[in-house]
Chains A and B, each alone.
Chain A
Amino acid sequence: MFENFKAYLVDKSGIESSKCEALSRTVKSLDFKKGSYLLRPGEICHHTFFVEKGLLRAYTVDEQGKEHIIQFASESWLMSDRSSAYFNEPADYFIEAIEDTTVILIDKELINALSKQSESFRRHNNKLLHNHIRHLQKRINMLLGASAESRYLDFVQMHYDLTLRVPQWMIASYLGITPESLSRVRKELAKKNFKP
Chain B
Amino acid sequence: MKTKKVELVVAPPAPHFVGDGFRVHNFIPGGYHLDMQRMDPFIMFDYNSKFYFPPSDQPKGVGVHPHRGFETVTIAYKGKVAHHDSAGNSGVIGEGDVQWMTAASGVLHKEYHEEHFSKEGGDFQMVQLWVNLPAAFKMSDPKYQGIKSDQMGRFQLPDDQGEVAVIAGEYMDVKGPATTFSPVQMYNVSLNKNGEAQFSFPAHYNTGLLVLEGNIMVNGSEQAETDRFVLFENEGETFTIKASEDAKILILSGEPLNEPIAAHGPFVMNYKAEILQAFEDFNLGKFGYLED
- Taking beta carbons and an 8 Å cutoff, which residues of A are in contact with B? 156, 160-161, 163-164, 186-196
Closest chain B residue, CB of each to CB of A152: B283
Residues A195 and B265 in contact, CB atoms below 8 Å apart: no
Residues on B with beta carbons closer than 8 Å to the beta carbon of A191: 285, 289
Q: B282 in the interface, Cβ–Cβ < 8 Å?
A: yes
Contact of A189 among B266, B276, B284 (CB under 8 A): B284
Complex: how many Å from CA A193 to CA B289?
10
State whether the Cβ of B236 lies closer than 8 Å to any Cβ in chain A. no
Contacting residues of chain B (247-274) with chain A, CB-CB under 8 angstroms: 264-266
Q: CA separation between A190 and B283, bound complex, in Å?
A: 9
Is B87 a contact of A160 with CB atoms below 8 Å? no
What is the CB-to-nearest-CB distance from B176 to chain A, in angstroms, rounded to a whole number? Answer: 28
- Give the interface SS of chain A, mostly helix, strand, loop or mixed: helix
A193 to B105, CA, bound (A): 14
The residue of chain A having its C-beta at the shortest distance from the C-beta of B267 within the complex is A164
Q: How far is the CB of B96 from chain A (nearest CB, A)?
A: 31
Do the beta carbons of A194 and B283 come within 8 Å of each other? no
B116 at the interface (CB under 8 A from A): no
B47-105 at interface with A (beta carbon < 8 Å)? 65-66, 86-88
Once the chains bind, are B286 and A186 in contact (CB under 8 Å)?
A: no
Give the dominant DSSP class at B's interface: loop
Inter-chain contact A160/B280, CB cutoff 8 Å: yes
Interface pair B265/A190, CB less than 8 Å apart: no
Residues from chain A with Cβ under 8 Å of B287 in the complex: 190, 194
The answer for the CA separation of A53 and B287 in the assembled complex, in Å, is 28
Q: Which residue of chain B has the shortest Cβ distance to A188 in the bound complex?
A: B285
Cβ contact within 8 Å between A195 and B87: no
- Contact partner, B289, options A156, A160, A186, A195, Cβ 8 Å: A186
Is B144's CB within 8 Å of the partner chain A?
no
| Inter-subunit contact A193/B286 (CB<8 Å) | yes
- Distance between Cα atoms of A187 and B279 in the complex (Å): 17
CA distance A194 to B279 in the complex (A): 14
* B65 surroundings in chain A (CB, below 8 A): 164
List of B residues within 8 angstroms of A187 by Cβ: 285, 289
